[in-house]
């Protein structure tokens, strides 16, 4: 752990460009982001916004074209292949939307978890049983894959992601393939794991309703962080999100160049649309934006 900062993740001006023979796609366009140790946060955005690209970079599965990304005090861009492989094996855990494809059907839940622990040279029977208990599978640990529900299979995948004791857990659409009740139980599981194990958890999703489970939501639009939504204390006891806007504080993000992205619903209200210019007035410490026709 880097004692000089409270951030486990620091992304500075991240740019990612994918090139093919005929096209060039800029998935990230100068993204800045900091995440604190033991934070439980979500990254949301429409398809193609860059959220999955960011998650792959944080997990060491992809590298940025430009910019820097530091995790737990280590610059991922400066790692060689051996160091990067060790990082992916020991420092970060991944959970996918469809984890069943990565589980071995003829093994029990416990055997699936133990197998990954042996590969990672961290086979610890006591810790394995503790993980099984934490994810709520104590009574199902000897059941094979076909005997487990979709939600239970997802819990096996969570335990596998944590078997090597990573500091960072990344989840890409972990609730996308389950019903709303199971999705809620998975998000509640993440919160309890954050508390019990002291890990940092990042969930990528297109579903803003997960706001009631996380500390903070970062919205990505066009490859940049466009806004943040901070959870208030009262949201914890809410049974639904009927008063979502009243119980959250949404903040626009200003990048290092002074640029800010307006939320799309605000642009619709102002009838800005595709206009490239607006008028900005500053009066008594307040900034007002007006649509103009030029």
pLDDT in tens, 231-258: 654 444 434 433 434 355 555 666 655 6
111 within a domain of the structure (yes/no): no
Q: What's the pLDDT at 72? A: 94
User: Lowest mean pLDDT: which of 15-19, 67-71, 129-133?
Assistant: 15-19
Does 82 fall in a domain?
A: no
Q: How far apart are CA 243 and CA 228, in angstroms?
A: 18
Mean of pLDDT values over 183-201:
93
Torsion angles phi and psi, residue 121, rounded to 5: 60, 25
pTM attached to this predicted model: 0.79
First to last CA, the chain: 53
Would the pLDDT of 260 be above 90?
no
Supply the pLDDT for residue 182.
84
Query: Is residue 120 in some structural domain?
Result: no
pLDDT at 59: 94
- Indicate the helix (H) or strand (E) that contains 227: strand 224-231
Which whole-number Å values give the CA distances from 4 to 13, 73, 98, 191, in the listed order?
21, 9, 38, 26
> Does residue 277 lie in a domain region?
yes
Taking CB atoms within 8 Å and a gap of at least 24, the contacts of 111-116 are 112/145, 112/156, 112/160, 113/156, 113/159, 113/160, 113/163, 116/160, 116/163, 116/164
Band the pLDDT of 179: cuts 50, 70, 90: confident
28: closest CA among 71, 60, 57, 70?
Answer: 57
The answer to whether residue 257 sits within a structural domain is no
Lowest pLDDT segment from 47-61, 74-88, 137-151, 260-274: 260-274
Phi, psi of 27, deg, nearest 5: -75, -40
Residues 26 and 192: their CA atoms lie apart, in Å, by 37
Q: How far apart are CA 131 and CA 133, in angstroms?
A: 5
Q: Domain range for residue 274?
A: 264-294
Does the residue 207 lie in any domain? Answer: no
266: its two tokens:
């605000």
For residue 294, being part of any structural domain is answered with yes
**pLDDT reported for residue 264:** 64
pLDDT over threshold 90, residue 205: no
Specify if 66 maps to a domain: no
Query: Does pLDDT of 2 surpass 60?
Result: no
Average pLDDT (215-226) is: 82
Domain count, the chain: 1
């Amino acid at each position: 752990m880097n004692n000089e900062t409270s951030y486990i993740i620091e992304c500075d001006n991240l740019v990612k460009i994918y090139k093919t023979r005929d096209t060039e796609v800029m998935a990230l366009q100068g993204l800045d982001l900091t995440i604190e140790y033991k934070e439980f946060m979500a990254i949301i955005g429409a398809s193609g916004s860059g959220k999955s690209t960011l998650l792959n970079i944080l997990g060491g599965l992809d590298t940025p074209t430009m910019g820097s990304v530091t995790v737990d005090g280590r610059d991922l861009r400066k790692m060689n292949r051996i160091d990067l492989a060790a990082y992916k094996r020991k420092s970060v855990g991944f959970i996918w939307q469809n984890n069943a494809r990565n589980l071995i059907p003829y093994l029990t839940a416990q055997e699936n978890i133990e197998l990954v622990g042996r590969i990672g040279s961290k086979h610890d029977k006591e810790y394995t049983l503790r993980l099984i208990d934490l994810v709520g599978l104590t009574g199902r640990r000897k059941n094979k894959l076909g005997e487990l529900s979709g939600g239970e299979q997802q819990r096996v995948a969570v335990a596998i992601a944590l078997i090597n004791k990573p500091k960072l857990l990344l989840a890409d659409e972990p609730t996308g393939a389950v019903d709303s009740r199971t999705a809620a139980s998975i998000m509640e599981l993440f919160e309890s794991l954050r508390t019990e194990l002291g890990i940092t958890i990042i969930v990528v999703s297109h579903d803003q309703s997960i706001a009631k489970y996380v500390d903070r939501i970062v919205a990505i639009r066009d490859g940049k962080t466009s806004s943040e939504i901070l959870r208030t204390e009262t949201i914890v006891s809410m049974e639904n999100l009927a008063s979502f806007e009243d119980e959250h504080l949404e903040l626009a993000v200003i990048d290092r160049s002074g640029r800010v992205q307006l939320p799309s619903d605000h642009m619709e209200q102002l009838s800005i649309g595709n206009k490239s210019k607006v008028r900005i007035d500053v009066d008594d410490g307040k900034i007002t934006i007006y649509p103009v026709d030029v």
